[in-house]
Structure 1
Amino acid sequence: MKRFILLLNMVFALALFGPAHAQDTMPPAPYAYRQLDDPAQEAKAQELMETLRCLKCQSQSIADSDAPMAGDMRHQVRIRIAAGEDPESIRAWLMERYGDYVSYKPEVSASTWPLFAVPLLLVLVAGAILYRRFGRRG
């Protein structure tokens, strides 16, 4: 009975943690660490990669990150640039796939407008309070 429970625990652990471990042991995508042959295309790809956030590291761009996911994203950017795709359409595709958080250049949309409006509103309220407190003197 103890062997069966031990075997069951091992199977459960492999089923749960096997896929995550397998992803980190996969070889990197071909263009994860290799630049494009055309310098102009590589410059476009590099410029775009500097503006995309690594979802695993969160404080680094995909150009700077060594995370496997960032390598896959660099690969996607490079092959799409090599295929002639516009950098902004690649950004839009990545934002659609991973969410707005992936871009360092936030866009105002129905779900993000409060992030832009609330700080402005707070500055206006603080200005009004300061004006009422100190502006009427004299």
Structure 2
Amino acid sequence: MIRAMILVLTLIAAVPAAAVQPDEILSDPALEARARELSARVRCLVCQNQSIDDSNADLARDLRKLVRERLVAGAGDQQVLDYLTDRYGPFVLLEPPRMRSTWLLWYGPFALLGLGAAGIAVAAMVRARRREAPEPLSAEEQSRLEALLSDEAAEADGTREAPR
């Protein structure tokens, strides 16, 4: 029982706390839910690895207010994101758009994974070829080899003259 309680408390403590201040919260719960969902998709330009919903930076607070102002003014979710992207560039989005300039970001890891898999496959084939035992020599090949080796041995000993 105590272990279960410790586990639950640990999981609760691991959930990131939102940095939204009470004075920022909208009175309309539906608009507030949309604002929180949008804030979770927008990058804090100071922290860079946090959403503005999780960041305590002053700029993040300003961006949260801006999102809420745009929603209260009647802007749709995509309009708010487009406004922020126009103003701060695509970097402001935690999930960058799929466009030509971000293809490497989106598809580069898959390309590297494919290259790595191909490299591993080639290395495995090379190892397998090295491990294969060569076919044994036929009787004729064996006798030719022995003759060549004996000729080389005789030349090395000086008992036979090298051909000219």
TM-score, normalization by structure 1: 0.70
Paired with 2:80 and 2:117, the residues of 1 have a C-alpha distance of 41
Paired with 2:49 and 2:113, the residues of 1 have a C-alpha distance of 27
Decide which of 105, 120, 123 is 2:95's aligned counterpart. Answer: 105
Q: Does 1:121 align with 2:111?
A: yes
Paired with 1:50 and 1:110, the residues of 2 have a C-alpha distance of 25
Paired with 2:82 and 2:125, the residues of 1 have a C-alpha distance of 47
Q: Deviations over 1:22-52 (max 9, x none)?
A: xxxxxxxxx9942111100000001110111
Residues 41 and 82 in structure 1, CA contact (< 8 A), matched pair in contact too: yes
Paired with 2:107 and 2:114, the residues of 1 have a C-alpha distance of 11
Runs of 4+ off more than 3 Å: 135-138
Cα pair distance change 1:36/1:64, threshold 3 Å: same
Paired with 1:117 and 1:81, the residues of 2 have a C-alpha distance of 33
Paired with 1:55 and 1:32, the residues of 2 have a C-alpha distance of 22
Paired with 1:124 and 1:64, the residues of 2 have a C-alpha distance of 35
In structure 1, what is the equivalent of residue 54 of structure 2? Answer: 64
Higher RCO (CA < 8 A, seq sep 6+): 1
Residues 50 and 63 in structure 1, CA contact (< 8 A), matched pair in contact too: yes
TM-score, normalization by structure 2: 0.59
Larger radius of gyration: 2
Task: Give the aligned length.
Answer: 108
- Kindly report which structure 2 residues correspond to 1:41-80, keeping only aligned pairs within 5 A, or say none: 41-80=31-70
Identical residues among aligned pairs (%): 38
Paired with 2:100 and 2:87, the residues of 1 have a C-alpha distance of 18
**Structure 1: where are the runs of 5+ without partners?**
1-30
Paired with 2:23 and 2:57, the residues of 1 have a C-alpha distance of 11
**Structure 2: where are the runs of 5+ without partners?**
1-20, 133-164
